[in-house]
Structure formats: C-alpha cells, structure tokens
Amino acid sequence: MEEQFYTPKKKKEIKKSILLLIGVLLVFFLIFEIGLRIFSYPNYGFSKGMFEADENLGWKLSPDYSGTHSIFGRTVSINTNSKGMRDFREYAYEKGDKLRVLVLGSSYAFGNGAEFEESYVELLRQSFNEEVEIINPSVPGYIINHKYVYFMKEGIKYNPDIILVPFTPNEWGHFEVIGQDMDLAVNKETYKTVNKQGFLVPPNMNNLQKVHAFLLVKSRGYSFFYSKTRLVFSLIVNKFERSPKAPPYFFEKNSLEYQEDYDGHFLLLKKLKESTDAKIILFIAPHKIDLANEEEIKENYGINYSVNTYQTKESMKQIAKELQIEIIEINSNDPDIFLKIDGHWTPRGNKMIADELYLKLKDKL
C-alpha cells in the first residue's frame, strides 16, 4: 500500500510550521516598526494637522504649523506662518515701498517634494535679492476656482501690484464657483476634504482606501514599504493608479466637456482681472505630460482622436490673449526635472524654473 502523503500527523506539522512562520513575521514586523519609530522614520505623506477645513475653499494650510512631507523618496520640512503660508516671513496687509507680487498657485508653487529653500518661489525671492516682496499662499490641490475664491476672500487684502497665476495642465478641469461676495465659495462636492486629524483625504473613500489611509498614518513599517515600492516600481504604480478615462486635459478639443472647461477658466480669469487693478501674469509651466507622445496617450486611454499634449496650454494662451493678460511660458523636454512618481519638479527642476522665470519676470516688472 502506498503511504499517504498528507497524514494527520503531517498536516499538524505543516499547520505548526505555518503558524510559526506567521509568528516570526509578526515579531519581525514589530521589531522593525519599533526600530523605525526609535529612529523617527516618518509616516508617508503629509504629517498630522497640516490642513484645516475652510467653509469657502474646502481646505487650507493650518497656520503656525510645523511638520514634514514624506513622499517621492525623501522627507522635507513644512512650516507655515500665522496666515497659513509656507513661509517663515509675516506679511502685513498694508503694502510698503517694495513692489508686491502675489502668487496664486497650487502644489508646484507650494513646493511639493522640495525643501522650502529649494522651491522655485523662494529661489525667485533670492534672485530678486528681497527687493521685490513675493507673497505665496499656494496650497496643494488648488485650481482656478480655489485661486479666484482665495483672492476675493483674502488675497485682495494684500493689495498686490502683480498677480502671478501659475498653470499646469493637471489643473484643467473643475472650475465651478458658487455664491456671491461674502458667500463666495468653491463647489466642494467633488473635492478632497479634511478629516479630524488634519489630513487631506479624497471624498467617498472605499474600504480598501480607508484601510490604506489608516495604515499609512498608524504604521511606520507600512509607510516604509509603500514609499519604497512606489519609488522602485513607479511605472507599475502609475499604470495601476491611472484612471481608465482620459483626464480632462486630454479631452477632445471640440467636445462639450473641454469647451466647458475653457469657458470656466475664461470666466474666472475675467472676474479676477475685473476685481483688481493689479497686473495679472499667467505663468504657463512645464508638466510631465508634455513628454508623452500621441501613441502612448491613445494606448493608455483608448482614445481614437488626435491629442496634443500642449492643447490646454494653447487654450490658456488664447484665453489670456482675449483678456489681454500677459503670459510667461516655460517649456522643457528634460525628464530629469520631474519626479519619477508624478509631474512635480525635482530640486533641479525648481532651480531651472526659478532662473528662467526670474529673467522673464524681471522684464515685465
């Protein structure tokens, strides 16, 4: 008679081995977690309390905040002043003798993935040798409607001489503003929200996203492995996270959706211009999608029409021309200025932007 391979005794031994392996792994991860905490390894993403809810804008940076931003393979310090700007300086509403520039930007002007002194706005300040006062209330995630509402609620109080409005194609999309005057606000239904811990989170998260967010906040080990795998397998991660639907900046230019976005940007820039005597300068900046080719875009999103990666930039230039708004445009085909995970700029990219922007802005001032 042939001997049975899985006898009751054998099954018991296998079960013990599996339990022992699980126990060893749990002990290893516990020791690893403790070690990361001892050496102060940060949690992935923005640290606790960086954001707070705002009834008009949805979210804003917390004032007098000190924390870190651990993402894109490095950890940088984040500090804000009493007005919730990423800056150690304080700015009075009353303008002095210096020319005053207000930057209405998003994560690029905020300096995602860069130390404060590496960000292009701070480098721009240094290039002007502090002779020009540059106020930068930029917040990650803000787009044209946030910029307009912020200016009408707060930015207008600084009475700027110049308003610099940076634009990258990823901002093309939502534009809706509701209310008037004191009730002016963005339509917050489709935007991120701030939870009780001061983290910026997407609306209507599914259970998997909730577990992922919980582990990122609670476990240094999970943050460690997540950040390392994102960096090593960035191409796989990008493909996995990519929506099957083309983003708004790749919509067909003749489509109703694209035209609505065009009209929305036109309207809000028009309102911004009508609300101030300041000179408005539209800064069209490089983005990683500029490097994509039409074949890649069609394959990734199943598009059967011709796509121009510069089409939103061309649309913004057309809007600026119609509104008689000045333009500064910087383009680059250098992939090394972009972070691997997304389209934000490396320190080298921020330096390149600051140097070129200084030369072009200096002529307009």
Give the pLDDT of residue 1.
46
- The domains of the chain are located at 1-40, 45-364
What is the tens place of the pLDDT at every residue in 258-291? 999 999 999 999 999 999 999 999 999 999 988 8
Amino acid, res. 338: F
Give the pLDDT of residue 310.
92
What is the tens place of the pLDDT at every residue in 32-73? 889 988 988 888 889 999 999 999 999 999 999 999 998 877
In whole angstroms, give the CA distance from residue 216 to residue 214.
Answer: 6
Contact 258, 247 (CB under 8 A): no
DSSP state of 190: G
Give the pLDDT of residue 303.
87
Rounded to two decimals, the pTM is 0.89
CATH superfamily of 45-364: SGNH hydrolase (3.40.50.1110)
Q: Which residues lie across from 132 on neighbouring strands? A: 99
In whole angstroms, give the CA distance from residue 214 to residue 201.
Answer: 11
Give the pLDDT of residue 36.
87
* Strand arrangement, sheet containing 66-71: 45-46, 66-71, 74-79
Contact 260, 252 (CB under 8 A): no
- For the chain, 365 residues long, the average pLDDT of each consecutive 10-residue run is 62 81 88 89 89 94 95 87 97 94 97 95 94 96 95 97 96 88 82 86 80 87 83 58 75 93 96 97 94 86 87 97 97 90 89 97 87
> In the structure encoding, which two tokens stand for residue 107, read together?
């994560």
What is the tens place of the pLDDT at every residue in 12-27? 778 888 888 888 888 9
Q: What percent of the chain has pLDDT over 70?
A: 94
